[in-house]
Copies of this chain bind each other. A is one copy, B any other.
Amino acid sequence: MKERIKTFFLGRRLEDSELAGEKLNVLWGIPVFASDAISSVSYAGEEILLVLIPVLGAASYGKFLPIVAAIIGLLAILVFCYRQTIEAYPAGGGAYIVANDNLGEKPGLVAGAALILGYILTVAVSACAGAAAVTSAFPALLRFKAVIALALIVLLTWGNLRGLRESAVMFGVPTYLFILTMLALIATGLIRYMTGGYTPEEVHIATQSTNEALLFVILRAFASGCTALTGVEAVSNGVPNFRPPQQKNAKRVLLAMASFVCIIFLGVSVLISLYRIVPNEHVTAVSQLDAAVFGGGSAMYYAVQVMTVVILTLAANTAYADLPLLMALMANDGYLPRRLIFRGSRLNYSNGILFLFGTAAVLVVAFRGDQHLLLPLYASGVFISFLLSQLGMLRHWLRCRGRGWRYKAAINGFGTCVTACVLVIIVWMKFLSGAWVTLLTIAALVVLMLGIRRHYAAVSEDLQVDDPMEILRAPRSGKAILPVQSVNRSFLKALNCVRDIGFSEIELYHVCAEEESARRLRTQLESLDIQATFVYDVTHLRDTEEVLMRHIEAENGRLGPHEHLTVIMPKLVVMDPWKRYLHNQTTHRLIRRMEKYRNVYVFQVPYLI
């Protein structure tokens, strides 16, 4: 029954051999890896303006474009750096692998934790931003924003549990469509502006007077805008997915992707600046721009909004594809629960998918679907993984000293310095609004992962055996205890069973509230004429369970080093779940409690009603 419901929702169980991967060329590689990076365009510019406008008012637009330019410059540097990672790690060089390889266990774990957090936030932020695109188009839905974000996450989880084939076409078509609609938006917007078809209203914004130096405001805005860079590292993780020449194709995709991000981000930012868009809580900046260019309610307006939701959904989907893989890798190294290694019935890492679903959903609910509150947590985590990745590459070149290592080390060294500076800016500017949560979470995750690793190491050492013959020994008979309440069929079945197996000594043990009842039972048992001793305890505290456990504990204490004791537990089995409540779960609880005695074995004899 359970299996049938599962099959209905997820499809049939797949054979191991059905695990197949498609190899990508440049054309289809771009959309697969670019959705995360390109989708950031839909919120990054808005984040910058949200910092600038309350302080600078209409003067913000003068600072806006230089900040965008700085971020695009940063993007160029990262592209150069990651080209080198692609070269050095043809099997895929995520921050966890690069940091672990070159910097050691703890930096590796920090990078891993930052990545895990980053992927979770990718899903939460993308879902919320997607919901924002919906509510911008349909303001009546505003109070359901968190619900819409959750619905997107549920849909993604279901799709991924079913095992969405990540076909290149499925990703490619919508991504290219998004790029095209954005280019159309930019082109139309520029033409309308230049032909004078649109005159922005004069913006009169009440600014808050502040003592903050202008530099700080600009740094805060820059830190907010750095969310545009999330997802840049994706290509370097996925080198093995490309058709040969793998590394060359990967580099081309990286460059093309960066170009698209650059064009769209710059174009949209210029338009926002020209059209004097003022972001507000209810309508996103892109939606306002969209309405200004195409006219709210026009077909093209809705097309842009729809494509924004789609690209954000695809961005979240990359996290669904990558996080479970990363967690399986880390679980394989012993840092995460082992259940993350196993593939589910549809060959995906179902436990990782469910983990991602749970954490992202909690974030969306806790932050009530507000991406503006989630984004400060996001950028700091991403830049920690960037920094460790760069530092790892620098160390890599310094150690292996291949052809042209000085040049390569210089590039990654530069990358290290730049990402370190940016990270410092982000943490400094965003500390109170969220970066502290990121840092604390990463630290806690690292401690947890080290603990998990220690536990698994201890277990594996404990189970390890050099010479099995040393442990195997000659058979030795032992004593059995059979608790008895009354002479009924269940007890008699257990008694038959204990005699079948043949113990050297059988003890029938009884707990009662009155001596008298024990005496009656003794007479009954004597008439059965079996080779067994009868032992009983009297309690007036109605704590049969405790008395039995104390008896077992005492017997356990009396055991010699290589002796053992078997407790026979007759167990009433009721098949209807609701009827189970009508019987005390004492037997079940006792069996669990007896686990803790090393030399007490429990023999469970079912009696089906």
Contacts and interface: CB of A to CB of B under 8 A. Distances in A.
B487 A465 contact: yes
B475 A499 contact: yes
A451 to B, nearest CB: 9
A473 B492 CA distance: 10
Interface stretch (A171-179, A438-446, A590-598): A590-598
Contacts of A344: 542
A488 B472 contact: no
A477 interface: yes
Contact of A337 (B339, B347, B581, B604): B581
Copies of this subunit = 2
A591 B604 contact: yes
A505 B303 CA distance: 72
Nearest to A3: B546
A276 interface: no
Interface string A3-18: 0000000000111110
Contacts of A475: 496, 499-502
A427 B495 CA distance: 57
Interface in A503-556: 503, 513, 524, 527-528, 530, 540-543
B528 A452 contact: no
A468 to B, nearest CB: 6
Interface in A339-369: 339, 342-345, 347
A276 B127 CA distance: 61
A140 interface: no
Interface string A446-477: 00000010011011001111001101110111
Interface stretch (A195-203, A226-234, A568-576): A568-576
A430 interface: no
B478 A492 contact: no
B501 A542 contact: no
A344 B543 CA distance: 9
A343 B530 CA distance: 35
Contact of A606 (B456, B573, B579, B601): B601
Interface residues of A, number: 82
B500 A488 contact: no
A432 interface: no
Contacts of A464: 488-489
Interface in A481-502: 487-490, 492-493, 495-497, 499-502
Nearest to A597: B606
Nearest to A524: B468
Contacts of A14: 541
Interface string A579-609: 1011110000001001111101111111111
A192 interface: no
Contacts of A571: 595
A83 interface: no
Nearest to A493: B471
A564 interface: yes
A243 interface: no
Contacts of A609: 458-459, 462
A572 B472 contact: no
A329 to B, nearest CB: 17
Nearest to A571: B595
B495 A472 contact: yes
Nearest to A478: B500
A538 to B, nearest CB: 10
Contact of A541 (B345, B487, B597, B605): B345
Contacts of A458: 609
Contact of A13 (B497, B541, B597): B541
A540 B17 contact: yes
A63 B193 CA distance: 80
A27 to B, nearest CB: 34
Contacts of A603: 601-604
Contacts of A530: 472
B455 A564 contact: no
A500 B528 contact: no
A15 B601 CA distance: 32
A338 interface: yes
A501 B584 CA distance: 30
Contact of A497 (B564, B594, B606): B564
A58 to B, nearest CB: 45
A88 to B, nearest CB: 33
Interface string A22-42: 000000000000000000000
14 contacts: A14-B541, A338-B582, A338-B584, A344-B542, A463-B488, A464-B488, A468-B528, A472-B496, A473-B496, A475-B496, A476-B500, A501-B501, A573-B596, A595-B604
Given A468-B527, A502-B502, A596-B606, 19 more contacts: A15-B540, A16-B513, A16-B540, A17-B540, A337-B582, A342-B542, A344-B542, A345-B543, A463-B607, A465-B487, A465-B489, A468-B487, A472-B492, A475-B499, A477-B500, A596-B608, A598-B606, A601-B603, A603-B604
Closest 9 CB pairs of A and B: A463-B488, A16-B540, A475-B499, A471-B492, A602-B604, A15-B540, A573-B595, A595-B606, A475-B500
